[in-house]
Amino acid sequence: MTAPDSKKPWYRILYVQVLLAVAAGILVGCFYPDFGKALKPLGDAFIKLIKLIIAPIIFCTVVHGIASMGSLKKLGRIGGKSLLYFEVVSTLALFIGLLVVNIMKPGVGFNIDPATLDPSISQGYLQKAQALSTTDFLLNLIPQTFVGAFVSGDLLQVLLVSLLTALALSAMGTKGEPLLRGVAYASQLFFAVLHLIVKAAPIGAFGAMAFTVGSYGLASLNRLLALMASFYMTAGLFVVVVLGLIAWASGFSIFRFLAYIKEEIFLVLGTSSSETALPGMIEKMKRLGCSDSTVGLVIPTGYSFNLDGTNIYMAMAAVFLAQATNTPLDLRHQLSLLLVAMITSKGASGVTGAGFVTLAATLAVVPGVPVASLALLVGIDRFMSECRAITNLIGNGVATVVISRWEKEVSKATLNANLRQPQPLIGSGGGKG
């Protein structure tokens, strides 16, 4: 997404348009719920348009970044640092979620009898959750065909194909240089297409929000507001305190960073999916001075391995359901829940509802909490999804900048200057290869 233009009238600024569209969608959903439900295709169409461009952008970014890197040692170093960072921060998110839900106890007093809940409501999520086993997850990394990854849109499959292509180009030496230049030109083309698509973001956000409020209604929140408030507060504290301290240690302000990616944040708020902001985040991280190789590795893998918002949600939601159904969960059970959640959270992409599926997988493995109690959260999951997706988005952006700073790709002074006034992309998308 292009750098902000201070001379633009306020009504032509994208994030302002998206914010107004979200507000309009809420009003339409509240007062004209049937009409709001009918607007669902607007949100779905925009998300499909974004997904149309995600795979080729990731492919070009990763291939160009790694193939022009010239060092497999650097590739392994960045990959290792990324996975270490992801595991530490996402596990910390799980701990914080458990801590807050045990202190605030939002589910205590709900006194729900699981026998009175409709088990069929949670059955569909359980079936999806079965695909999250470790073996299936690993096998699913490999697409059926080379182009199959682009057809399915699976980010990890696209990343695998991109890595293999990049390594092959590197091995070709000078013979691969024309192909590498072609990838760079293709990247410019796909980003140009992206800039056309994002102009429709306000329409997509309006339709998605009108459908959400029209379908579930603000009244559906009632007793579940305590969980929502606890979750939003915890996610906010995680961003400001935990990610804020990480950003401070890396030489930049979390608040300035949030202002820098505000367009992407509002886009996710409207669509409830962090995938819609993925191409824009890739471009904006490059504008900060992060290299193609770092951006190409950290952003796509972070969408499956660094889901801070999803981890907070899973920890809080699981204990909330235990509290609501008067299911005792001692420290040992909660630690078991934590270990299971560390595994089931991996591989969940930024698609709307993925956090709910991983929660179903976690409850299916941890005995005690009735899986049927998932029915309690169905009505508010869409509202929770927005906070999950925004927290995941911010976490992956911070991770990219932090690892880029560790790699000394961008200085503190340059980073802060680019946060104030982003630089134009050079060639395939800036950064140092």
Q: What is the model's pLDDT at position 350? A: 44
Q: What is the model's pLDDT at position 351? A: 45
pLDDT higher than threshold 50 for residue 421: yes
Q: What distance in Å separates the CA atoms of residue 124 and residue 145, rounded to the nearest whole number?
A: 28
Compute CA 139 distance to the chain's CA centroid, rounded to the nearest angstrom. 22
Per-residue pLDDT tens digits for 34-86: 898 898 888 888 878 887 888 888 888 778 877 776 666 777 788 888 889 99
CATH level 2 (architecture), domain 10-420: Orthogonal Bundle (1.10)
Q: What global pTM score does this model have?
A: 0.75
Q: Select the highest-mean-pLDDT range: 183-192, 243-252, 307-316.
A: 243-252
pLDDT higher than threshold 80 for residue 268: yes
Average pLDDT over residues 18-33: 86
Q: What is the model's pLDDT at position 361? A: 66
Q: Alpha helices of 32-104 — where are they, by DSSP H?
A: 33-38, 40-67, 72-104
Kindly state the tokens that stand for 241: 């305190």
Burial (CB < 10 A; 0-12, 13-18, 19+), residue 365, is middle
Kindly state the tokens that stand for 126: 């359980």
- DSSP for 294-328 reads HHHHHHHHHHHH--HHHHHHHHHHHHHHHHHTT--
Residues in the chain: 433
* In the chain, % of residues over pLDDT 90: 15
Per-residue pLDDT tens digits for 167-192: 888 888 788 888 888 988 888 888 88
The domain spans of the chain are 10-420
Average pLDDT over residues 393-421: 92
416 pLDDT band (50/70/90 cuts)? very high
